[in-house]
Amino acid sequence: MVCIRGNHDPIGLTGVVESGNNDDPDGKYGVFAIHEDDFMWLQGVGTSNGNSNIKDDEDQVKATAANLKAYLDEKIENEFDKHILIVSHLPLHFSNRAGGGDGQYGKYIYDELDSAAKKGLNIYFLFGHNHSSGYDDYLGAASIYLKPGDEILIPTGRWSCSAERLAFTYLNAGYVGYYSTGNKVDKSKSMVVYEIYDNRAEISRYSTSGLINLKSAGVSSTTDYDADTTVYTSPMISKLMQFHQKGWLNNNRSIDAEDLIILKQHLLGINELDAKYLITLI
């Protein structure tokens, strides 16, 4: 379990991990923590109980994205092919809560995750902050789970967003309540359980009643967004990609004639490739 700080937790709270690298010491998986101070709620919106110095919000999120990039670049250089959990207080998706200010600088973080995932890293973004009140209904509200290839709306400003195709897995780590709309979405109090294996993760969501859907069907909400009505059940099997660039069949970090010969031999059944190469060819 990794505990990070949210907007109701004081600085120095006992038991909270440090921001940044919190990798498993045995190298079985990676963990990067993003505290509320690093990716704050109500960005650029001054409130009595939120941020008081809003002029620095964008610069701080940019700095967080730069730190995340350095962490991910090192993983790419080392061809790290295990799970990387990015645990954040705040989500990345667009919401017009607080007039669109809740996460308006999220694209800086999203862009780094998107780039690294496309280069071969196995990234899972888990968020905690979920003041739904209708603004997350279009994604499933209390049970949000999106897998690579699914569409997500990422803020590009306070009042704007862009539709992106995820290259990584995205979900809320749990849901503890604080819900006030009458929409018929799943409002179950829940937590997500990861079972991590060498070549896959099995991801499940539990309430006090047992297994529930990882993702509930989205419904029309207090927003104008199109509802994502897809339902994903528990458990979801997420297979790890092997860290291998497309075209690199002889491991010399370049695409050349030798790669073509190896591919021809595979197609002719002369010398078939190992499974780790086939994952990136299919």
Domain chopping of the chain, boundaries:
20-239, 244-282
Q: Residue 163's pLDDT is what?
A: 94
Reported confidence tier of residue 280, pLDDT bands at 50, 70, 90 = very low
* pLDDT of 73 higher than 60: yes
Could you give the CA distance from residue 51 to residue 59 in angstroms, rounded to a whole number? 14
pLDDT of 88 over the 90 cut: yes
pLDDT at 148: 94
Confidence class of residue 252 from pLDDT cuts 50, 70 and 90?
low
- What's the rounded mean pLDDT across residues 82-95? 93
**CA dihedral defined by 43, 49, 54, 58, rounded to 10 degrees?**
-30
**Residue 155: cis peptide before it, omega within 30 degrees of 0:** no
Model confidence, pTM: 0.84
Least confident of 151-160, 224-233, 246-255: 246-255
* Nearest by Cα to 36 from 69, 70, 3: 3
Residue at token pair 């809740």: 102
Look at residue 76 and tell me whether its pLDDT is greater than 60.
Answer: yes
pLDDT reported for residue 282: 35
Q: How many helices (H) and strands (E) are present in the chain, helices listed first?
A: 4, 13
pLDDT at 224 over 80: no
Mean pLDDT of 167-173: 95
Report yes or no: 83 and 23 within 8 Å, Cβ to Cβ: no
Banded model confidence at residue 54, pLDDT cuts 50, 70, 90: low
| pLDDT tens digits for range 139-166 | 988 899 999 999 999 998 888 889 999 9
* Residue count (the chain): 282
Q: Provide the angle, in degrees to the nearest 10, between the axes of the packed helices 57-77 and 106-118.
A: 10
99 pLDDT higher than 80: no
Which pLDDT does position 275 carry in this prediction?
A: 58
pLDDT band at 281 (very low <50, low <70, confident <90, very high): very low
Rounded to a whole number of angstroms, the CA Rg of the chain reads 20
Dump pLDDT digits (tens) for 122-141: 999 999 887 666 788 899 88
pLDDT at 112: 98
Contact call for residues 20 and 64 (beta carbons, < 8 A)? no
Grouping H, G, I as helix, E, B as strand and the rest as coil, residue 211 is strand
Average pLDDT over the chain reads 85
| pLDDT for 191 beyond 60 | yes
